[in-house]
Amino acid sequence: QKEVEQDPGPLSVPEGAIVSLNCTYSNSAFQYFMWYRQYSRKGPELLMYTYSSGNKEDGRFTAQVDKSSKYISLFIRDSQPSDSATYLCAMKAAGGSYIPTFGRGTSLIVHP
Amino acid sequence: NAGVTQTPKFQVLKTGQSMTLQCAQDMNHEYMSWYRQDPGMGLRLIHYSVGAGITDQGEVPNGYNVSRSTTEDFPLRLLSAAPSQTSVYFCASSPESGNTIYFGEGSWLTVV
């Protein structure tokens, strides 16, 4: 079992839908949780970053962490075709190595 | 507003040739790293550095060499290219906290 699991998709939704992207993990030491968006033939870009449990909102994006279930989510409201990309989760323990553990990414397609 | 700059963007090599992928960052980040990304495999860490003069191996270091003589630069050397090294390579940098990572635009390498 990989340390971080992420369904590769593709996830196809109509424009305007609410999208839920998820990752599960096994390492209870993870404290920092990140979401990256990667457009085709581009480098990943940091979308959101949260520490420990709870929610964080940024415009149409909400990141949610449930440490008791070892489950994180990224919600996209009012999805747009421009949201079509691969979304990677990443997580890291506090202190120690700075190297995060990445999920393999979920491909999202938002069709008009 | 350069961030992390990688060159070249595209390269075709013959088996056995050597080459260097260049990476430079202008954010004064201590931590830099190289990843390769292959379909279905996600991001895999090749080598990383926690500061000038300090490098360490990641998950898939074989066939690659790195050095870090300055804070800004972190070149990746392919010693004797093999078709298995056909991939897209991403350089990344991170501040000391390591909680956010900034990626370059990628270098697409084909070994024939």
| Residue range A5-55, pLDDT digits in tens | 999 999 999 999 999 999 999 999 999 999 999 999 999 999 998 988 889
**pLDDT score of A1 more than 70:** no
Pairing of strands B87-94, A106-111: unpaired
Interface test with A, best of B44, B101, B103 (most A CBs within 10 A): B101
Task: Place A93 in a pLDDT band, splitting at 50, 70 and 90.
Answer: confident
**pLDDT score of B73 more than 90:** yes
Which residues in chain A have their CB less than 8 angstroms from residue B45's CB?
99
Cα separation, B111 vs B98, in Å, equals: 32
B28 touches A at CB < 8 Å: no
Binding-face residues of A in 71-110 toward B, CB within 8 A: 88, 90, 92, 97-100, 102-105
The 3-state secondary structure of chain B reads: CCCEEEECCEEEECCCCCEEEEEEECCCCCEEEEEEEECCCEEEEEEEEEECCEEEECCCCCCEEECCCCCCECCEEECCCCHHHCEEEEEEEECCCCCCCEECCCEEEEEC
pLDDT digits (tens, 9 = 90+) for B1-22: 679 999 999 999 999 999 999 9
Mean pLDDT over B44-73 rounds to 95
Subunit contact A42:B101, Cβ cutoff 8 A: no
Among A12-16, A80-84, B96-100, the minimum mean pLDDT is found in B96-100
Interface test with B, best of A30, A39, A99, A102 (most B CBs within 10 A): A99
**pLDDT score of B98 more than 90:** no
Q: What is the CA radius of gyration of chain A?
A: 13
